[in-house]
Amino acid sequence: MSRVVKKRKLDEIRQDRLYFDSYSDVTIHEEMIADHVRTNTYRTAILKNSESIRGKVVLDVGAGTGVLSIFCAQAGAKKVYAVEACSIAEQAQITVKHNNMEDRIEVIRGTVETVDLPETVDVIVSEWMGYALLHESMLNSVLYARDKWLKPGGIILPSKAELYITPVIDPVVEDRLHFWYTVKDQYGVDMSCMSGFARKCIMNSDITVSSVTCEDVLSHPARFAELDLHSVTPEELRSVKGQFRCESFGSSAVNAFCVYFTVTFPCPDSTAPLVLSTSPCKPETHWKQAVLYLDAPVEVVQDTPITGEVRMYPSEENARHICIHVDYSIGEQKRHSKTFSIPDWSSEAQP
């Protein structure tokens, strides 16, 4: 094995360790379970699929504290394999026993890629979504489980994911940039020369995870990608892309794009499927939205076209981190390109 390949393998091992370690603390699990939109949608979806779950075998990929596994047992599952790689699996085992479910739920410590189940399964359930849907790259594990353990005709909860983009105005950023023009009136020192530096610092290439209000959305959203979990491949996840076209609602200044996602659960006894949405115009979730700042705001008027292409792909430095590349044109403006990524703070904290 070459030194370069060996180093890459060691980096991947370290990245996985950091990823799993981040789920060993109570805080992240508190945040996820306290997210009522997330947890209640999963509970509702599982119960609505009780006919497909009752008497069947379920695999919970990345089971965490085991709450989804317990929902499946409550829906009548004969057996649930709760696979969890990090030490929170110990708490899942305690929670399962505390709810008198140990006869039907088996907590297995390990990654789904390395554990060995005694049988194939009828249902896969997983809450795999990260920021901007694909950050943390857990969907790859769900696809591995699908290909290895799911019976033909089995169901996956959720079964579909969709990605959307829309132009927005972030007034907080504009207020922060304007601040430097107010310093002279307050303190007698003209610091307006700081505005350019401030713009570079604030409107940078980071994927900013924050809450966007519906009032700051400047057009109808455009869907640029759809993932069918029954058919999408790991290779296709290496480049998720699509084109978009929006038309502005009225006069404003676009200073960012907002990317968000939905996931859909099949509901056999209902005319409409159940959708978990992270749209800024829906109740807030812990995923919030991914905000991508332009280098400078662009003025728009009613029906100004905003077009382009989005491509999402794993970072070369850390395959669990997502990069988003956007090519875009606003009105008559020439085409621009910008690549965004989520800062890898862990790399600064490790030797």
- Active-site annotation holds for 136: yes
**Distance, CA of 113 to CA of 108 (rounded, Å):** 12
Other residues' Cβ atoms within 10 Å of the Cβ of residue 34 = 10
Asked whether 247 and 178 are in contact (CB, 8 A), the reply is no
Answer yes or no: 332 catalytic.
no
Neighbouring residues of 122: CB distance < 8 A, sequence distance ≥ 6: 52, 53, 56, 57, 58, 150, 151, 154, 155
Please pick, among 102, 127, 162, 236, the residue that the annotation labels catalytic. Answer: 127
Question: In sequence order, what are the beta bridge partners of 341?
Answer: 206, 323
- Other beta carbons within 10 Å of 351: 2
User: Which candidate in 84, 113, 136, 332 is catalytic?
Assistant: 136
Q: Is 197 exposed, middle or buried (0-12, 13-18, 19+ CB in 10 A)?
A: exposed
Distance CA 317, CA 319 (A): 7
Catalytic residues: 127, 136
